[in-house]
């Protein structure tokens, strides 16, 4: 049985389409990571699962129940760690868990649950005095009450320190081992990689990819960089013949006298074979896989055809500027993770150009220009999450 089924779901708010024709199935027992930049519609999708908001069109089925008509039945078996929630300041931690126990009509010792999330010592304190991380743990404790069949975690590690995030990850894995389906959203990729069976990538309300991490790597154009250490210096002819191989984008000499080859993942063996066929002794080779970060950026930003600010009309009739953005992003996204900051600057320059203002485009180093698209992102995020 599918734990979550979204079928052609669109959610429009007054002036924003937060989720557009989304179809997605999460199987029972799966750990599914829901990725996307801020404002992509992740929280809206989760809110649809919980009947916090209602779909404009399409159907949402959770644990075999219609999310709209049978929401209580859904939530009886679902533990939720919502995003942007707050605790009841005047109630103690234990009172919160007792509220969850009462609501779920189960018989559980609240202290056991609090102990599991590391809040046993703070159980009698008013939750208003809790830190962000403690509030997050408290909500997780409430979610875990009654051993849910489905855990829905919206940005679970926000506000947690690294140790807290690790504990959160461990609890997620424990639950998954118990057979619980876990659906969680994140923009922190390492987390997703560490725990997820499959991920879905959401961009501007549309699902752009659903696959395992390995599958995504394979499917995306993001390539690997192969570093080859050789016995003797390689001459130019050999360099040319490697360059001519299928799936090889570039070949250059590294500072240590070896080679750096940018190629598709499946071309690596061909490169090494070709070198050896040409009489080059390969003493060692390493590959740097495209980082998940690159992968993510390739999916979520690679073909962005809408500006991040609200000025949609300008971008609509400015196809050339868009094409430039795409090109520059593709090249930077695939070369070097360290170039991330440079990549951001590039795209922002392009965004500046979209404003049809030649002067601002020329002024590449302008700090204000760099900030503007981010602010736009946040504005959209806020609107989408009402």
Contacts with another protein by CB under 8 A lie at 13, 47, 50-54, 71-73, 75-76, 78, 80, 82-88, 90-91, 95-96, 99-100, 102-105, 126, 139, 142-143, 386
* 76 versus 193: smaller Cβ distance to another protein: 76
Sequence-separated (6 or more) residues with CB below 8 Å from residue 263: 223, 224, 226, 245, 247, 248, 249, 271
Contact 350, 325 (CB under 8 A): yes
Report the nearest approach of another protein to the CB of residue 80 (Å).
4
Contact 58, 16 (CB under 8 A): no
Cross-strand pairs, 181: 150
Q: Measured from the CB of residue 90, what is the shortest distance to another protein in angstroms? A: 4
CA angle 207, 157, 334 (to 5 degrees): 50
- Compare residues 55 and 258 and give the one whose CB is closer to another protein: 55
Centroid of chain to Cα 33: 7
Other C-beta atoms lying within 10 Å of the C-beta of residue 162: 8
State the minimum distance, in angstroms, from the CB of residue 104 to another protein. Answer: 6
- Closest distance of CB 199 from another protein, Å: 23
* Contacts with 117 (C-beta within 8 Å, 6 or more apart), sequence order: 137, 138, 140, 141, 144, 167, 171
Backbone angles phi, psi at 202, to 5 degrees: -110, 135
Work out how close the CB of 102 gets to another protein at its nearest, in angstroms, rounded to a whole number.
Answer: 3
Q: How far is the CB of 252 from another protein (least distance, A)?
A: 52
d(CA 32, CA 365): 40
The rounded Cα 213 to chain-centroid distance in angstroms is 11
Concatenated DSSP letters of 291-350: PHHHHHHHHHHTT--S-SSS-HHHHHT-HHHHHHHHHHHHHHHHH-GGGHHHHHHHHHHH
Task: In angstroms, give the least distance from the CB of 83 to another protein.
Answer: 8
Closest approach of another protein to the CB of residue 196, in Å: 22
Q: What is the DSSP letter of 27?
A: E
Taking the least distance from each CB to another protein, the nearer of 205 and 373 is: 205
Distance CA 291, CA 118 (A): 33
Question: Of 70 and 336, which CB lies nearer to another protein in the complex structure?
Answer: 70
- 314 close to 307: Cβ distance less than 8 angstroms: yes
Separation of alpha carbons 77 and 15, rounded Å: 34
Nearest approach, Cβ of residue 194 and another protein (Å): 25
Query: Nearer to another protein by C-beta: 86 or 357?
Result: 86
Give the three-class secondary structure for 247. coil
Please report how close the Cβ of residue 340 comes to another protein at its closest, in angstroms: 31
CB nearer to another protein: pick between 60 and 213: 60
Nearer to another protein, 119 or 353 (CB): 119
Q: Give kind and range of the element (H or E) at residue 166.
A: helix 162-177
Q: Residue 90 or residue 341: which is nearer to another protein going by CB?
A: 90
- Nearer to another protein (CB atom), residue 75 or residue 268: 75
Q: Which is nearer to another protein, 88 or 283 (CB)?
A: 88
């Amino acid at each position: 049985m599918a734990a979550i089924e979204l079928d052609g779901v669109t959610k429009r708010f007054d002036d924003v389409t937060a989720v557009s024709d989304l179809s997605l199935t999460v199987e029972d027992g799966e750990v599914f990571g829901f990725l996307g930049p801020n404002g992509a519609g992740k929280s809206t999708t989760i809110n649809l699962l919980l009947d916090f908001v209602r779909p404009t069109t399409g159907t949402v089925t959770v644990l075999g129940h219609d999310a709209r008509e049978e929401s209580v039945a859904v939530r009886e078996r679902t533990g939720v760690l919502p995003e942007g929630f707050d605790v009841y300041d005047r109630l103690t931690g234990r009172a919160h868990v007792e509220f969850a126990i009462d609501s779920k009509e189960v018989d559980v010792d609240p202290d056991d649950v609090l102990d599991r999330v590391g809040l046993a010592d703070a159980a009698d304190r008013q939750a208003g005095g809790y830190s962000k991380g403690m509030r997050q743990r408290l909500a997780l404790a409430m979610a875990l009450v009654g051993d849910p069949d489905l855990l829905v975690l919206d940005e679970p590690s926000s506000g947690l320190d690294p140790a807290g995030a690790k504990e959160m990850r461990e609890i997620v894995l424990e639950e998954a081992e118990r057979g619980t389906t876990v659906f969680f959203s994140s923009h922190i990729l390492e987390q997703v990689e560490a725990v997820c069976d499959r991920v879905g990538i959401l961009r501007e309300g549309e699902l752009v990819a659903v696959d395992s991490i390995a599958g995504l790597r394979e499917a995306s154009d993001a390539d690997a960089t192969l570093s080859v250490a050789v016995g003797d210096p390689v001459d130019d002819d050999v360099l040319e013949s490697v360059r001519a191989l299928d799936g090889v984008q570039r070949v250059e000499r590294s500072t240590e006298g070896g080679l750096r080859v940018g190629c598709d993942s499946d071309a690596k063996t061909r490169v090494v074979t070709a070198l050896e066929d040409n009489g080059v002794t390969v003493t060692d080779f390493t590959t740097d896989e495209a980082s998940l970060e690159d992968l993510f950026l390739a999916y979520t930003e690679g073909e962005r055809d809408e500006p991040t600010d609200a000025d949609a009309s300008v971008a609509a009739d400015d196809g050339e500027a868009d094409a430039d953005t795409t090109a520059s992003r593709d090249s930077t996204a695939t070369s070097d993770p360290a170039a991330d900051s440079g990549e951001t600057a590039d795209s922002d320059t392009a965004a500046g150009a979209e404003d049809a203002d030649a002067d601002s485009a020329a002024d590449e180093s302008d700090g204000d220009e760099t900030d503007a698209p981010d602010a736009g992102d946040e504005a959209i995020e806020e609107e989408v999450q009402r």
